[in-house]
Structure 1
Amino acid sequence: MNDSLPSSVLVTGSTTWDNLPSMRRILAALPAGSRIVTGDTPGADACAVAIAAELGLEVTRMKKNRADQRAFPGEAWRGLNQRMLASGVDLVLAFHADYGKPGCARGTVHMVEHAQACDTEVRIFRE
């Protein structure tokens, strides 16, 4: 990501993420005019929306749809992850305290792995 140009940044992570100061530091360092793409769940998504509003950043908030549910029965979040990444993001910021622990962070791991497979830069934050 070129730090001098506005970018489109996907924020993903734990539905229990509540470390606003940590996320605020990261989002405040983004180039002016950056756009935040995120889902509609509590935790990291909701924190990103609130902080982006404070910082005056544009937000695109996406939610699961019927196509996601048909494509991934019981795991529609997989479809949402794919659509969010396909929206043209330059960077994925993943916020999950349990990232890397066996059996934890399934949705976040899916997003990180999908982004990496698509050659999209990923940064992971555990605190």
Structure 2
Amino acid sequence: MRTLITGSTTWTDAVALRRELSQLSATSVIVTGDTPGVDAIAIAIAQDLGLGVEAMHKSAEDYCRYPVDGWKGLNERMLKTGIDLVLAFHADYGKPGMARGTVHAVELAQHAGVEVRIFLD
């Protein structure tokens, strides 16, 4: 199973991430980005649990496609790696104008028919 982890760059609740990642099968691979907060915590926990990790970084092409919002290109590329599940962690998800990167990843996944689980705290 390939699981995309997305969320807030200011997220600090490692307990919530560990709870969800520990429920994945031992052969699972998490795919995540290159930011502090959810991405960084997820990488550390996944490694501790012995899960596979694919940490992806924003590329020059991402910024060519989206000059101000390179994260959109990264979200698209991560989802195209064959994601089976998206776990999104963001306390401000659903608030107008907030959690833009997380909302973008969730909407892409939903449009592709990928299961999404959202955690607000």
TM-score by length of 2: 0.99
The SS at the match of 2:3 is strand
What residue number does 1:4 align with? Answer: none
Offset of 1:89 from its aligned partner? Answer: 0.9
Instruction: Confirm whether residue 116 of structure 1 aligns to residue 110 of structure 2.
Output: yes
User: C-alpha separation between the residues in 2 aligned to 1:11 and 1:86?
Assistant: 14
User: C-alpha separation between the residues in 1 aligned to 2:62 and 2:34?
Assistant: 14
Equivalent of 2:9 in 9, 15, 19: 15
How many residues are paired up?
A: 121
User: C-alpha separation between the residues in 1 aligned to 2:16 and 2:63?
Assistant: 33
Q: Structure 2: 5+ residue runs without aligned partners?
A: none
User: C-alpha separation between the residues in 1 aligned to 2:101 and 2:16?
Assistant: 21
User: C-alpha separation between the residues in 2 aligned to 1:115 and 1:58?
Assistant: 21
User: Identical aligned pairs, as a percentage?
Assistant: 60
Instruction: Confirm whether residue 72 of structure 1 aligns to residue 66 of structure 2.
Output: yes
Offset of 1:42 from its aligned partner? Answer: 0.1
Equivalent of 1:49 in 43, 63, 76: 43
What residue number does 2:101 align with? Answer: 107
Q: Structure 1: 5+ residue runs without aligned partners?
A: 1-6
Counterpart residue type for residue 117 of structure 1: H
User: C-alpha separation between the residues in 1 aligned to 2:41 and 2:11?
Assistant: 8
User: C-alpha separation between the residues in 2 aligned to 1:44 and 1:35?
Assistant: 16
TM-score by length of 1: 0.94
Counterpart residue type for residue 45 of structure 1: D
Counterpart residue type for residue 91 of structure 1: L
Following TM superposition, where does structure 1 have runs of at least 4 consecutive aligned residues deviating by more than 2 angstroms?
none
